[in-house]
Structure 1
Amino acid sequence: MNNETASRRYPFVIYIMTGIRKLHMAPFSSEKCKGLDGEYMLFAVMDGAAEVKIGSRSFGLIRESLIVAEPGQAALCSTQANSLSLYFVTFKAFRVSDTAAWRYESPEAFPCIGALTCVPFSQCVDLLETIEQHSPDDNDLMRFYNHVRFEELIRLVLQQNTRATPALNLRDSVKSSIDYISDHYADQMTVSQLASDANVFQWQYTRIFKELTGQFPLEFINKLRIDHAKQLLLKTEDRIHEIAQHVGFNNEFYFNRRFKKMEGIAPGRYRHHHRGKIRIVSLLMEDILLTLGVTPIVQWSHAGWGRQEYLRLDTVPAFDVLQNSFEPLATFNPDLIIARRSDYEYRTNQYEQCKRFVQTEIITHDDEDWYSTLRTVANRLGRIDQAELAIQQYETKAAKARSRLTRSITNRTYAFLRISAECISVDQTYTKPFLWGDLGIVPHPMVQELTCEAGRKGVTWEWLQELEADYIFFAFDKWHEQEAGSERRQVTHPLWQTIPAVRNRHAFEVDFMTWMNHGYLANSKKIDDVLNRLVN
């Protein structure tokens, strides 16, 4: 077999990831990104909106945007009224040859540059999330697994984008039109007129507009007008019809209808709620409210787990969420109920009952993504500054803690055990994003091999005896059918003392409700717990 035939058994070009970061940008902020010599840059947007300038080109960044930039380029991401969450990845291209060592390839080695497609985008995000989680791994096999994941991501991108490239001149024309709309939102305009002014067919204009902004033209215009109307409602004493005309609505009835559809509340009530002291119920999101300086009128409680004691809401009435109906919440006279998506999905009937007597809104972010949840609630309550300050303070505290831990416990591993009367389970859902993601403490390989579902079902004493994690954090789960306190019998079992970390006195009890929560207050308390036990 000759070399030419043999070379066809592997690709001529291979792509190697050199770096990955998960970025969270606050509204009205900017972030410079640049690869090293020969590095491509990839941007994958999970949520929010912004603009990125790469060289002489500008791209709109919206949810599910994917952009690749050539080596040697600098990128500047800038947000306006929206925050932005994205992955920033750098990678290099190498040519594989029988006769020569691998070498950096020219920019043309990666055929897809600019705004790209990756469908389903959730698959792209899943790959990036796993890659980012495992990027600190030092084990060669784990690094190889991560390389395979990255090559799978590249395969998805190449497969969907090698046949077509957007027409730059058309996108630039629509981009200029968007800039014009942003400056003249109060003027009367139609889509056909805007397309004509941009010298683009209307169907092309609408499609490219949606690609750049995530919205159709009229949706974009109406949102601009409503956003400015919200500011005027809070900052002026102008009448509703005057504000409607000022932002571009000739008809007050239509303005009211659009405003309520977008904000879930009429303009007059919006002004009243945000200027006065709003009475809010947000069960299991009290951490978020308190971070924003809002005290809930009632707090989450659970017959098995109790209250969130770490919040110190001793004077706030408790509401047991295990009851069949949430209609008794009406007796607290709330103005607004805010619920998490996961809690709503679990208690749909109860929250649907609430909609009969009060405005009820659902936050769609995942529970562990407390940054996005905090920003969403802050935007709803007009407290963006408090949210950004809290996030900045938390990131500073976490960075300092991570630095101290790096100096003190390098290459140490952990496991988190959730101990109930029936079993001992391994938690990753609530604790892994914090311990590994924020503080850089790596889960023991035996923990990493467990799926979240398998860990929840419980592990055997034999498994625990083989667990050689340097540290064990554990919390007692009091929700079970046995007598009160029986969960603590697990740590008096003779085999508990045979677990290596327990034997070495490196097993630490922590508060269950604090560690089974996500939020500024909970995570700040967790940092204190970790430092007090591992460093101080």
Structure 2
Amino acid sequence: MNSEMGSRCCPFVFYIMTGIQVLHIAPFSSEEYSAHDGEYMLFAVRDGAAEMKIGSRSYGLVKESLVVAEPGQTTFSQTRENSLSFYSITFKALRVSDTVALVDESPATFPCTGTLSCVPFSRCVDLLEAIEQHSHDEDELIRFYNHVRFEELIRHVLQQNARTAPAPNLRDAVKSSIDYISDHYAEPMTVSQLAADANVFPWQYTRIFKELTGQIPLEFINKLRIDHAKQLLLKTEDRIHEIALHVGFNNEFYFNRRFKKLEGIAPGRYRHHHQGTVRIVSLLMEDLLLTLGVTPVVQWSHKGWGRQEYLGLNHIPAFDVLQNSYEPLSTYKPDLIIARRSDYEYRTDQYEQCKRFVQTDIILHDDADWRSTLRTVANLLGRVNQAEQAIQQYETKVSKVRRLLTHSIKDRTYAFLRVSAECISIDQTYTKSFLWGDLGIVPHPMVQELSSEEGRQGVTWEWLQRLDSDYIFFAFDKWHEQEAGSERRQITHPLWHTIPAVRNRHAFEVDFMTWMNHGYLANNKKVDDVLSLLAKVK
């Protein structure tokens, strides 16, 4: 065949590996590497993190990073708290002449340097492991096979990096990708493909994605799919597996698992609870129900204490919790009864009666841990997002108030008095976790010396006269057998005004049912009370 009739079949450039090592850099260490003349250095990170400086440029290395340094460049790597484990390959790029003779005097240029993409990275690792394993073999055929592996590695890298340059604005590229995901969430997609489409290296893509959304890509995609699934569950009668496929999940089992992890409830139960009005009874936990946007069908009531007026449930029928049987609750046709652990332990027989006619769940958290209780109730009702939003709002408010009160409450102490007609007791059960735990106002040492039971039994006037706390908060406990209003006679007693905080006008009355309760709404009102009352202190 005439050479003019044919075409050149060999590449213009060959890449020849000259060495391979597996290297490790310990935490808080540094290493410097340089290759021989004309050699490129390729670094593929297996694990760890470090800063690498190549020439005048610095790169952040993490697991699955791939970096190529040009000939003559010295690399300097510095680790901090993490070690670094990586492959180091040196290679040459050699030009091929028209006579198919290698020309060492005219080295070629490798088209990609700096940080590169290598997806899937597992493919790179497989090739590198095999290359390193056979790098010392003397058999010529095996050495040739190893060269083929190296050329396959180079092909894999060039295929992903030589076509186009990295996007000039990586954040804009990732933002566009996020918009694409929002519009095509139901389509099959992988992080590797999304990064490749955005022309961003995968490790950069994931980092920037989280900076922009607060989530890694897979979490973001699943959240989008679940949110659309929730809409379909409420707006259609489609079967669960049909909805799962429609929003992009391959199978119903995985959809159910992801849905329950995000929402705290299975898809079918979510549909049941939200398509209609769920009728719920949760005596003395109405605060938490309202926080979740659920109005109870009946509210807690007590002959001595009355109702929880701060909740504003005047239009809701009341149920007296002192009666021996809770079977009358069935007349309100509840779908679910939720009981606090303390109530169940005190009224086990009554709640066991409830289990005969309706599902009755017992919350096992300590009553004072209203955040955990709220989360548990939210899981039961499929309202996890509402619970987390409420808790975050409360934490933000408390943090702000603590900063406002930093100077006024520093080194200040308090006591909370529960005033009834029969005695004055010291409360810690309902108020300590709020005043001390949330706001940072410290109980007076005399209070801290009392156990909860000792404080509940009541203290003497002589004890109160020695109580030199900076603040006193007190509420009137109306559950007694004396005439209405008799509890207020305690503060007309001659010794009342000998108590230091009372004498200094630092004794503040608060609402009994608000302060003797745990919950988002109750605690928000307590915060407002403290701000208002302490503002009066000069």
3-state DSSP of counterpart to 2:437 = helix
Task: Give the Å deviation of 1:535.
Answer: 2.1
2:309 alignment partner in structure 1: 309
Task: Give the Å deviation of 1:396.
Answer: 1.2
Which aligned pairs between 1:385-534 and structure 2 lie closer than 5 A? 385-534=385-534
Question: Using the alignment, how far apart are the partners of 2:384 and 2:266 within structure 1?
Answer: 21
Please, which runs of 5 or more residues in structure 2 have no aligned partner?
Answer: 1-27, 29-46, 51-79, 83-225, 257-262
Amino acid at match of 1:507: A
**Does the aligned pair in 1 maintain the 2:270–2:381 contact within 8 Å?**
no
3-state DSSP of counterpart to 1:483 = coil
**Does the aligned pair in 2 maintain the 1:417–1:427 contact within 8 Å?**
yes
Compared CA separation, residues 362 and 479, structure 1 to 2 (3 A): same
- TM-score normalised to structure 1 length: 0.53
**Does the aligned pair in 1 maintain the 2:241–2:252 contact within 8 Å?**
no
**Does the aligned pair in 2 maintain the 1:54–1:73 contact within 8 Å?**
no
| 1:82-119 per-position Cα deviation (integer Å, ceiling 9, x unaligned) | xxxxxxxxxxxxxxxxxxxxxxxxxxxxxxxxxxxxxx
| 1:216-271 per-position Cα deviation (integer Å, ceiling 9, x unaligned) | xxxxxxxxxxx99x97966863436878998577xxxxx9xxxxxxx9x9986663
**Does the aligned pair in 2 maintain the 1:405–1:535 contact within 8 Å?**
no
Which aligned pairs between 1:65-464 and structure 2 lie closer than 5 A? 237-239=237-239, 271-464=271-464
Question: Using the alignment, how far apart are the partners of 2:487 and 2:48 within structure 1?
Answer: 57
Compared CA separation, residues 266 and 290, structure 1 to 2 (3 A): closer
Amino acid at match of 1:275: Q
3-state DSSP of counterpart to 1:334 = coil
Deviant stretches of 4+, over 4 Å: 53-56, 230-236, 240-249, 265-270
**Does the aligned pair in 1 maintain the 2:241–2:251 contact within 8 Å?**
no
Please, which runs of 5 or more residues in structure 1 have no aligned partner?
Answer: 1-36, 38-52, 57-71, 75-226, 250-254, 256-262
Q: Once structures 1 and 2 are overlaid, which stretch shifts more, 400-409 or 460-469?
A: 400-409
**Does the aligned pair in 1 maintain the 2:305–2:479 contact within 8 Å?**
yes
Compared CA separation, residues 243 and 440, structure 1 to 2 (3 A): same
Structure showing greater radius of gyration is 2
| 1:107-156 per-position Cα deviation (integer Å, ceiling 9, x unaligned) | xxxxxxxxxxxxxxxxxxxxxxxxxxxxxxxxxxxxxxxxxxxxxxxxxx
Question: Using the alignment, how far apart are the partners of 1:267 and 1:508 within structure 2?
Answer: 49
Question: Using the alignment, how far apart are the partners of 2:504 and 2:413 within structure 1?
Answer: 14
- TM-score normalised to structure 2 length: 0.53
**Does the aligned pair in 2 maintain the 1:408–1:535 contact within 8 Å?**
no
3-state DSSP of counterpart to 1:491 = helix
Amino acid at match of 1:428: Q
Compared CA separation, residues 318 and 462, structure 1 to 2 (3 A): same
Task: Give the Å deviation of 1:288.
Answer: 0.3
Task: Give the Å deviation of 1:272.
Answer: 2.4
Task: Give the Å deviation of 1:431.
Answer: 0.3
3-state DSSP of counterpart to 1:306 = coil
Question: Using the alignment, how far apart are the partners of 1:527 and 1:266 within structure 2?
Answer: 36
3-state DSSP of counterpart to 2:480 = coil
Question: Using the alignment, how far apart are the partners of 2:509 and 2:305 within structure 1?
Answer: 16
**Does the aligned pair in 1 maintain the 2:291–2:521 contact within 8 Å?**
yes
Compared CA separation, residues 267 and 532, structure 1 to 2 (3 A): closer
**Does the aligned pair in 1 maintain the 2:515–2:522 contact within 8 Å?**
yes
**Does the aligned pair in 2 maintain the 1:279–1:335 contact within 8 Å?**
yes
Identity %: 78
